[in-house]
Amino acid sequence: MNAEEFWNLIERARDMAADLADAEDIAEQATVLLAGCTPQDILDAERVLRELTAASDRAPLWTAAWVISGGGPCFDEGFDYFRGWLIAQGREVFEGAVADADRLAELPEIRASAPEGIEPDGEGILGIAQDAYERATGAELPEDAFTFDHPAVGPDLDFDDRERMSALLPRLTALYPG
């Protein structure tokens, strides 16, 4: 499975999901689809997933997640879950946000959640290959199947500098004045 096939799988899972706002439903549908693939394809899907999370490990996206979470717990796992949610939104949204994190302000889900302070969470997406591999083979995904270099995040993050965040993400900080 290559990146194109992975994104097609996510789109099919989105088509099957009862509620596109429910990233966990999308994750479950993706797991079902992936479990029907060969073990090698599932391993390849895990590799693609890791590549996507690495590609989205960027300072502007961290800052966007911080702004959206209201300055809440957006470190480590919280940022991972945010990126899982972003993958569940599909290729166009994911790639657009990685290229320009302020584009997230255009998403209806982000606009609707701003007044209520609801944080996007897609924890389940991060485990689709692991879950699918176990369903398909009865064994756990081999931990040593991958070695992976994570790129540097980018410029230092300063979540106390609201002025810098506003300059970086003007539309998003306008939605979440924090």
Q: What is the pLDDT of residues 48-60, one digit of tens each?
A: 999 999 999 888 9
What is the model's pLDDT at position 143? 82
Which one, of 153, 122, 126, 127, lies nearest residue 140 by Cα?
127
How many C-beta atoms surround the C-beta of residue 167 within 10 A?
10
Q: How many helices (H) and strands (E) does the chain have?
A: 10, 0
150 — pLDDT class (breaks 50, 70, 90):
low
| 146 touches 77 (CB < 8 A) | no
Read off the tokens for 123.
Answer: 């924890």
> Is residue 104 helix, strand or coil?
helix
Tens-place pLDDT, residues 102-133? 999 999 989 988 887 778 899 999 999 999 99
Residue type, 174: A
Distance between CA atoms of 29 and 16, rounded to whole angstroms?
Answer: 7
Tens-place pLDDT, residues 60-118? 998 999 888 876 655 668 889 999 999 999 999 999 999 999 999 999 989 988 887 77
| 31 touches 128 (CB < 8 A) | yes
**DSSP structure class, residue 103:** G
Tens-place pLDDT, residues 3-29? 999 999 999 999 999 999 899 999 999
Helix axes 59-68 and 91-99, enclosed angle (nearest 10)? 110
Distance between CA atoms of 137 and 40, rounded to whole angstroms?
Answer: 11
| 52 touches 86 (CB < 8 A) | no
